[in-house]
Structure 1
Amino acid sequence: MITIGLTNWKGHNTLIVDKNKELENYTSHFPFVEMDTSFYSIQPENNLLNWIDKTPAGFQFIPKAFQAMTTHREWGDYFTSEALMFKVFIDSFQPMLDAKRIKAFLFQFPPYFACSSENVLYLRKIRHWMGDLPVAIEFRNHTWFSELYYGKTIEFLKEMQFIQTTVDQPQTQTNSIPRVLEVTNPELTLLRLHGRNFDGWLNASNPDWRKTRTLYNYNHAEITEIKGYVEKLALHAKEVAVIFNNNSGGHAAGNAKELQKQLNLTFPNLAPQQMGLDLF
């Protein structure tokens, strides 16, 4: 099975019929969404219940792990122990877990999270704290896939039943990993598409980096190339979930639609598409 989604349900103007119903509009096009809000703060239960209520029964979310869980921040600034942080995070998602609305939790690590014994131990702790929940790992430090550690990294991810996240991104020397078409959990694999804006991705010190790094519009030939990646991954995983994250310029939805067309995919159980009120 191949599914396609976008990062966040907001800001995709081509999908919006009613600006007050962005999530509902989104769910009439795609079967899942990557949730960024959980990275910035642990969400209150009423938010999750609201999002469940607004979406079809089969719609799923891929929440990003809270920023202190991926070492972007110090956990001691928020909690008295790391174990407590993970418990509070998991407990916050219990309504979605009970409703089977979670496809996986995405742990996206920063560029300084290198392949080291300390960080391998931390990943083992993550598996312990997350229990048997589906966890996807996205590295941004090339050492994990260096010639020395590539095979060991893949075997470790398999051992931990982590979902290896294949990424499409510019290849810089400081904050990129290669495109690794490896499936480490046969149930699910992720393909995250960040665009190929080399200059934007490289200059992480730029105050506008977060806005410009994913400013990219995949052309037809590149979408065809991505189609090949998806089909290769699909040989080894029950589901390949493709996430378009190139939305700084609003290109993600259109690119996702083109890939869907090239793969000849239809997604069942979507919300009915709404007609705009501006008919004349």
Structure 2
Amino acid sequence: MGEIKVGTASWTDRTLLESGWYPASADTPEKRLGHYAEQFPLVEVDSTYYSPPAEQTAGLWAERTPPGFTFNIKAFSLLTGHPTKVSAIYKDLRPETDKKSVYPGDLDPAAYEQVWERFLAALQPLVDAGKLGALLFQFPPWFTIRRANKQYLLEVERRVRPLRAVYEFRHSSWFADGNRDETLEFLREHRLPYVCVDMPQGYKSSVPPLLVATADLSVVRFHGHSEKWTSKDIHEKFGYLYSEQELIEWAPKLKKLASESDQLHVLTNNCYRDYAQRNASQLIDLLS
């Protein structure tokens, strides 16, 4: 069986800090990260989706965690085709526009290349410390199955190499109408790690909870089953606490996936109060 690492998709969420999960003594960012790293071997950094990280920040993450700790980094929104606030882009690369948000095509090509270069360069301290796991590329709901988008998956792999990109889809077309085999065959052929998800079903953004290994690294993200999945309030969207029975049913499926991979990353993304931390701890117990 491959190595299994379990963690959460945040350690700084406001509602988590308010929940009492951290002891009173963990009253600084350094102490909170240290406490988190005592409980879990893995964390996903979601803040990098909203704004690219500074190299100094990545260096602090590396310094404040023990050997063997792993950071998965969520790709900056501009690199996955999401609308991106102009204010989040490096100041000297911002396009001259009255728009509040822009897309990759709104940037000068040279500026877009610089965004890629700087985003990856900022992660070097984690690379040097052996603490960078995977780069999560979560694509928008309009990123459908078509040739150009498949080619972009390959482009991402080339751009980040030798780092590892993992791919999460948010459009049902990748697995609907007989496309499942085509999608999985493409990912396996090019050794692109697929991000398996558990999420609400019945939406255009829904993909099935399909646990398959398409490369030596597998990733599973638990988004919960909130009835308010379409809410713009992120805490309503992800505010779902998995029951113990639900996780018991997941455990053998995760072990099977681990047996097909060299490494499995399991991340709870139901980030409201301490829901993600509680469920991740339960999964560690069930998988140990």
Instruction: Identify whether the pair has TM-score above 0.5, normalized to the shorter chain.
Output: yes
- Once the 2 structures are TM-superposed, how far is the Cα of residue 83 of structure 1 from its aligned partner? 3.4
2:117 counterpart of 1:87:
yes
The alignment of Structure 1 onto Structure 2 pairs a total of residues equal to 258
Alignment of 1:60-139 (within 5 A): 60-73=70-83, 74-77=103-106, 80-81=109-110, 82-139=112-169
Instruction: Write the deviation string for residues 24-82 of structure 1: whole angstroms up to 9, x where unpaired.
Output: 11001000100012111111111111111111121110000010111002125566444
- Once the 2 structures are TM-superposed, how far is the Cα of residue 111 of structure 1 from its aligned partner? 1.0
Instruction: Write the deviation string for residues 209-235 of structure 1: whole angstroms up to 9, x where unpaired.
Output: x22111111111101111122112012
2:280 counterpart of 1:252:
no
**Structure 2 counterpart of 1:111, one-letter code:** P
Q: Please report the RMSD computed on the Cα atoms of aligned residues, expressed in angstroms.
A: 1.6
Contact 2:74 2:137 in 1 (8 A): yes
SS at match of 1:189: strand
CA distance in 2, matches of 1:107, 1:79: 22
Contact 2:134 2:166 in 1 (8 A): yes
Query: Gaps (5+ residues) in structure 2?
Result: 84-102
**Structure 2 counterpart of 1:169, one-letter code:** M
| Residue equivalent to 1:243 | 267
CA distance in 1, matches of 2:107, 2:64: 30
2:24 counterpart of 1:24:
no
Judged with a 3 Å threshold, the aligned counterparts in structure 2 of structure 1 residues 159 and 86 are, in CA distance, closer, same or farther, namely: farther
SS at match of 1:38: helix
Aligned match for 2:239, one of 215, 234, 239: 215
CA distance in 2, matches of 1:193, 1:162: 20
**Structure 2 counterpart of 1:85, one-letter code:** V
CA distance in 1, matches of 2:228, 2:53: 30
Stretch of structure 1 that moved more, 71-80 or 169-178: 71-80
Contact 1:71 1:110 in 2 (8 A): yes
Contact 1:191 1:241 in 2 (8 A): yes
Contact 1:15 1:26 in 2 (8 A): no
Alignment of 1:1-280 (within 5 A): 1-11=3-13, 12=16, 13-17=19-23, 18-20=26-28, 21-73=31-83, 74-77=103-106, 80-81=109-110, 82-186=112-216, 188-197=217-226, 199-201=227-229, 203=230, 206-208=231-233, 210-264=234-288
CA distance in 2, matches of 1:158, 1:88: 29
CA distance in 1, matches of 2:106, 2:43: 29
Contact 2:10 2:271 in 1 (8 A): no
CA distance in 2, matches of 1:75, 1:149: 27
Contact 1:15 1:25 in 2 (8 A): no
SS at match of 1:167: strand
Query: Gaps (5+ residues) in structure 1?
Result: 265-280
**Structure 1 counterpart of 2:37, one-letter code:** T
Contact 2:21 2:274 in 1 (8 A): no
- Once the 2 structures are TM-superposed, how far is the Cα of residue 14 of structure 1 from its aligned partner? 5.0
Stretch of structure 1 that moved more, 244-253 or 104-113: 244-253
| Residue equivalent to 1:273 | none
**Identity between Structure 1 and Structure 2 (%):** 32
**Structure 2 counterpart of 1:234, one-letter code:** A
CA distance in 1, matches of 2:212, 2:175: 11
**Structure 2 counterpart of 1:250, one-letter code:** D
**Structure 2 counterpart of 1:159, one-letter code:** E
CA distance in 2, matches of 1:79, 1:237: 40
**Structure 1 counterpart of 2:184, one-letter code:** I
CA distance in 1, matches of 2:20, 2:8: 13
SS at match of 2:221: strand
CA distance in 2, matches of 1:30, 1:79: 41
Contact 2:187 2:194 in 1 (8 A): yes
Judged with a 3 Å threshold, the aligned counterparts in structure 2 of structure 1 residues 50 and 249 are, in CA distance, closer, same or farther, namely: closer
**Structure 2 counterpart of 1:91, one-letter code:** A
